[in-house]
Amino acid sequence: MKQRLKFAIVGYGHIGKRHAEVISGNHDCELIAIVDVRPKEELSDIDQYDNVTFFGSIEEFLTSEVGRNVEVVNIATPNGLHADQAIQCLMAKKHVILEKPMALNATDAQRLIAVAMEVGKHVFVVMQNRYSSPCIWLKQLLAGDKLGKVFLVQINCFWNRDERYYQKGSWHGSKQLDGGTLFTQFSHFVDLMYWYFGDISNIQTKFRDFSHQQLTDFEDTGVLSFDFVNGGIGCFSYSTAVWGKNLESSITVIAEKGSLKVTGQYLDNVAYCHIKDYAMQGPVIETPVGTHSGNRASAINHEFVVKNVVDVILNNSPINHEVGEGLKIVEIIERIYKSNVSFKTN
């Protein structure tokens, strides 16, 4: 019988359920354990997974017979727990799939990487937006030098996160467990920015908390400006204070040989493309897996993350998202927050 990787999921919330769905749908994978601090009776849909053992803590899981058989652990818990829980699993000689962000500070991220190297196990940081069709298209344009020198990059992320999301008693909104708007909501876009254009310097920021004073420990709106180390300047404007529902996510590029804009609530289409000696071969539109419900997007493209894990472990293929890049995203966000000289509530 063909070898199947045995998986466990730590944290069976919104994203953890998506991980379970993806693992169960991959013929090379077998989900055999789910770990959550809540009682099993409170976890909806968990009974649909046959032959899955439930555990109430990582310690109970790792010391069990089932835990000893698991090869890959998917961590989908609150942000502030990621680094320590990943290290626990690495020390038990498990590969780790780690939801973004990999840590809330660069020191913890570096500590995690050091342990992974010491035990010889992989850490796969989930940055699934890199697999969307429009995002791949833009990466290929840049790699092929179709745009020439990049002059200006404008990133807009205007989302709704209100009391429906920041519910009383939830880890969302906590400085210790959530970390901040850039960590939880918009680290995917910081990742894409770094993937496309490289590191940034000369960061200037302005943060405000317009409508979340009673909901979070941090800003709901920010405007960033910076230089790209590789040339050009950038602006990143974001907000979770949009009323009612998400408005936009977009990346606009003004360059030597043309301009383009990837947009839509979830960067799911190319809205504008005018490039010298280049013609698009039909529309580039993302067809998401799953659905968008309420004011939150269902996770998409996780199946490509899991497929890469299978290919790396079973077939010695290269990792698509190096753990060092996950560290870099944490480090950039940390620098952005440290560069802020004034934070006001309104």
Question: Residue 269, by phi and psi: left (phi above 0), alpha (psi -120 to 50) or beta?
Answer: beta
**Of the candidates 143, 91, 99, the residue with the CA atom closest to the CA atom of residue 117:** 91
d(CA 94, CA 1): 23
Domains and CATH numbers, the chain: 5-128+301-318 (3.40.50.720), 129-296+328-345 (3.30.360.10)
- Assigned token pair, 94: 């498990």
- Assigned token pair, 219: 């800003």
d(CA 311, CA 287): 23
Q: Which long-range contacts (CB under 8 A, 24 or more apart) does 338-346 make?
A: 339/203, 339/204, 339/205, 340/205, 340/206, 340/207, 341/205, 342/206, 342/207, 343/207, 343/208, 343/209, 343/219, 344/207, 344/208, 344/209, 345/208, 345/209, 345/210, 345/213, 346/208, 346/209, 346/210
Look up residue 133 and give its amino acid.
Answer: S
**Helix 302-315, helix 14-24: angle, nearest 10:** 50
Q: What is the pTM of this model?
A: 0.93
Mean pLDDT per 10-residue section of the chain, whose length is 346 residues: 88 96 96 97 89 97 98 98 98 98 98 98 95 94 98 98 94 97 97 98 97 96 98 98 96 98 88 95 57 40 95 96 96 94 58
Q: Do residues 115 and 142 make contact, with C-beta atoms less than 8 angstroms apart?
A: no
Question: Residue 78, by phi and psi: left (phi above 0), alpha (psi -120 to 50) or beta?
Answer: beta
Measured CA to CA in angstroms, residue 72 lies from 29, 46, 80, 82, 122 at distances of 10, 19, 21, 15, 9
d(CA 214, CA 345): 11
Q: How many residues does the chain have?
A: 346
Residue 153's beta-bridge partner residues? 234, 253
Look up residue 156 and give its amino acid.
Answer: N
Look up residue 229 and give its amino acid.
Answer: V
Residue 31's beta-bridge partner residues? 7
**Of the candidates 251, 270, 253, the residue with the CA atom closest to the CA atom of residue 148:** 253
**101 preceded by a cis bond (ω within 30 of 0):** yes
**Of the candidates 179, 135, 172, 126, the residue with the CA atom closest to the CA atom of residue 19:** 126
H or E segment to which residue 235 belongs: strand 233-239
**Helix 187-197, helix 133-143: angle, nearest 10:** 20
User: Which strands sit side by side in the sheet containing 221-228, from one edge to the other?
Assistant: 269-275, 258-263, 248-255, 150-158, 233-239, 221-228, 200-209, 343-345
| DSSP 8-state symbol, 154 | E
